[in-house]
Structures are given as structure tokens and as C-alpha cells.
Structure 1
Amino acid sequence: MDPTARRRRTVLIAATAVGLILLLLIGVGVYGLTRGPQTTEPARPDGPTATNPAHVPAEPEAVVTLGGSEKFAGAVAEALFTWDTTSGYGPADYAQMLADVTADTEADAAASDVRSYLPTQEAWTQLRTHQTRQWLTIDTIEIPAAWEDAVVQAAPGQIPDGAVAYTITGTRHRTGYWGTDPVTTTHPVAFTVFLTCTPERTSAPAPAAPITETCAVLRLSQLDNPLR
């Protein structure tokens, strides 16, 4: 992308970020960002005890920003929910993977969003005594009707080019030990990822695509309070 055009795009995103957030907060009305309750111990099993499968500790992994907006939204979702207290890393290390793919103009706000999805350091310390780990299986990734309505109603320039929202539904899995007994719990989750993707021309030779999209996170909805 031409450097001048890139600077114009950056200015546009910075100038319209407030408008975007206000649109989502006021116009749509369900873009909650309050901090949710933190779990300080692994949930006791509701039914028969399940065996914790052998696994390799899930280390923080970089989020791939290429491949299109829907694929990126899925990668963000998995990064939000995949962590392992036996890996030797902490919640800040997993959060950093998402900070690395967040738009600069929304860095502070998005960091707060991410923290609301992860255990606090105090909770992490307690969860580590139970060898707790977590991951997500995704059921659906869809652009919600509320976002499409917001785009139609927005004034010209109010939403940055390439901005889109995906509402994701799935199941959060958590395993660990309660005393000496291995346990597994599951919980349905739903949330919305707000992101932006910028097309860029590549210098890779054919048959590689001459244009690729690089995506970045704008904001996250409150867990279980997504756009519909």
C-alpha cells in the first residue's frame, strides 16, 4: 500500500474510533464491556467424573492475521479461550498474543476487554494448583444482523473501511483436578469480535495472491452478551 494512503487510513481509523464505539454503545445498545466475574477454582463436575486426557501444555501462540476476516475472528476466539496453567506462562503472556494483533487506536480499551476473558493473576495461581487448562470449540461464526443494521444507519466515514463484527458461539472446555480426581466441565459461550482488515499488495511471485488482507482487533463484546 502507498505510504500516503496508509497514513490516511490510520488517521481515518483514529478519527472515527470514538464514533464507532458510540455507535455500538448507543445505536446498537448491547455492546457490553463491563468486567465479568472471575472464577477462582475449577468448577465441580455436574455429572460423572471425566478423565483428563494426556496433553502437551498449551503455550501462548501468535495469532495469524492473514487469511481473511472470518478466519481471523476464529483465531482471535481460540486465543481468548486457550490457556494452560501448567505451561509455565501466566495470563499476561496469553493476553500479549492478542495485544500484538490489536489496532493501535484501540489498544488500551481492547486490552481491558481481553483481561475480562482471562483469570486474574490471583485466580490463575489458585487454578494452577488444580492443573487447570481451557480451550474452545467453535460452533458458528456469523456477521450479526445488528452489525449490518448499524452499518446501514451509520453516517459516511463513521465506520472505518474494512471494519466488521463477527458473533461467535461455541463451547468452553475446562479440565483439571479436584483433589486427586480428574474433572472436565463444559459451558456454552457467545461473544462478538470487532475487527478491521486492510488489503495490502504483496511482493510474492505468482501463484501467490497479489493482494492480501491484514487484520487487527478493534474491540470485544462482554462474554455472553454478543450482538445478535
Structure 2
Amino acid sequence: MLYPTSDDVRRRRLIVAGVALVLLLLAVTAYAVLVHRAHSSKVVAPKHEDAGLGDTRNPSLPVTELADLRPTSDPETFIRKVATALFEWDTTTIVSRTDHIEQLVAVADPTGESTPGLVSDLDNYLPTQDAWVELAKYETRQWLTVESMSTPSKWAEAQAQAGDELLPGTTALTIHGTRHRSGIWEGEPVASQHDVAFTVFIVCGPAYPECHLLRLSMLDKPLE
């Protein structure tokens, strides 16, 4: 009987080690390929690019709360933010009607003097609670396309009549735009649009370093 020499044992160990290394490299390579394919096959949900809305939410991600309106000292920028927030709502989320009111009241007059009137204004713009529940059955969402912003022709007259009652930096701009709605009716997507006009009253500098919302005109009855 022939017994393996030390050289044979060493050779066999080297062969086994080599085979093990090759198998390890193959496993690592296969894992890397699978990971790459998994990343490549991910579906990216389309983004909504509605003009004037800037809605880039991923519909696969549930909306649980409204983002705060970023403070700004520029009247036109602030009014555009307010107008967008005023009309943008989605009954398919868990965000409530009250959440939308609170979002805008959060940027109201710091003194609180105009807040009760503002809350009443917002009630007239948003669907009632019963209507909200009904609209949710049809997965209704709404947004606004701002077409133009302009100073009402009678604003100077209103300022003169108010005199010292208006804080420095009080401004009014009238919005003309299109209100969009979409939803599901009998299993089919439906959509509608409607021209709207309204005036937003705000106060900025020098009274405050940032703009604040005072009141809203009645919908489709802007200050001329």
C-alpha cells in the first residue's frame, strides 16, 4: 500500500483551497448581479407635474400630514403659496379638512385679530365636512393653476379709506386661475376644471419681517 507523501498532502490542500476560493468568488459575483438587477427593476412612480401646482408627490407613499408653508417676505411668493394651499386637497389621504384650515391659520396675523374672520373665509372655500366624506367615496382631489396675479384697481381707494387701521405692508392681490378636480366615477377616471377669481389680503414688511395671511374675499367675488 502506498501512503501519500507530504508533498501530495500539500498539493491536495492547495487544490481544495483553490476550489473553495473559486466557489466563493462565484457566489459573490452572483449576489452582486442579483442586487444590481433588483435595483434596476424598481418601478419609479410617475410624478404629477400640474402647471402651477408643483405636485411631485409619489402616489405610492401615503400623505399623513401637510407641510408647513415656508415663511417669506415677498408678497407675491407668499400669496402664490397661500392660493396653492387653499385649493390643493386630496380626499384619498388621511389629511383632514381641519388640517387644511390649520395649515393656513398657522400663517395668519400674529395678533389674532383677523383669525376668526379668516377661519370663516376658509370654511367657504373648503367643502363642508359632510361633502368631504362624500367626495372621498369618489377619490376626489383638487388643485389650482394660477393664471395671473394683479393689484385690484380699488385697492388704493380702500387703503385711503382705512387710513391708520391698516398696518404698513398690508397688501392685496387678486388671483385669476383654474380650479382642477379629478376622481373616479363608476370605475372610470373623471376630471373637471373651472375658472376662479379671488383676492388675498396679507401683511408683510415693515410691519413684520415675514408675510402673514389676513383675509380672503368671497370666491369669485374679488376686490375689483
Q: TM-score, normalised by structure 1?
A: 0.67
Once the two structures are superposed, what CA deviation does each residue of 1:24-49 show, in whole Å capped at 9, x if it has no partner?
xxxxxxxxxxxxxxxxxxxxxxxxxx
What is residue 89 of structure 1 aligned with on the other side? Answer: 95
What is residue 170 of structure 2 aligned with on the other side? Answer: 163
How far the C-alpha of 1:158 sits from its partner, in A, is: 2.7
Normalized per residue, which structure has more helix? 2
> Could you say which structure has the larger radius of gyration?
2
What is residue 66 of structure 2 aligned with on the other side? Answer: 60
How far the C-alpha of 1:55 sits from its partner, in A, is: 5.8
2:148 touches 2:176 (CA, 8 Å); kept in 1?
Answer: yes
Q: Distance in 1 between matches of 2:58 and 2:210?
A: 32
| Aligned alpha-carbon RMSD (Å) | 1.9
What is residue 33 of structure 2 aligned with on the other side? Answer: none
Q: Which runs of 5+ in 1 are unaligned?
A: 1-53, 201-211
- Structure 1 residue corresponding to 2:213, chosen from 214, 217, 225: 217
Aligned residues: 163
Once the two structures are superposed, what CA deviation does each residue of 1:72-108 show, in whole Å capped at 9, x if it has no partner?
1111100100000011111111111001011111111
**1:45-124 alignment, distance < 5 Å:** 56=59, 59-103=65-109, 104-124=112-132
Q: Which amino acid aligns with 1:219?
A: R
Considering Cα pairs closer than 8 Å and 6+ residues apart, tell me whether 1 or 2 has the greater RCO.
Answer: 1
2:73 touches 2:204 (CA, 8 Å); kept in 1?
Answer: no
Q: Distance in 2 between matches of 1:129 and 1:178?
A: 9
How far the C-alpha of 1:150 sits from its partner, in A, is: 1.8
Q: Which amino acid aligns with 1:63?
A: L
Q: Which amino acid aligns with 2:171?
A: V
1:127 maps to 2:135:
yes
Q: TM-score, normalised by structure 2?
A: 0.68
Q: Give the fraction of aligned pairs with identical amino acids, expressed as a percent.
A: 41
Q: Distance in 2 between matches of 1:123 and 1:156?
A: 41
What is residue 146 of structure 1 aligned with on the other side? Answer: 154
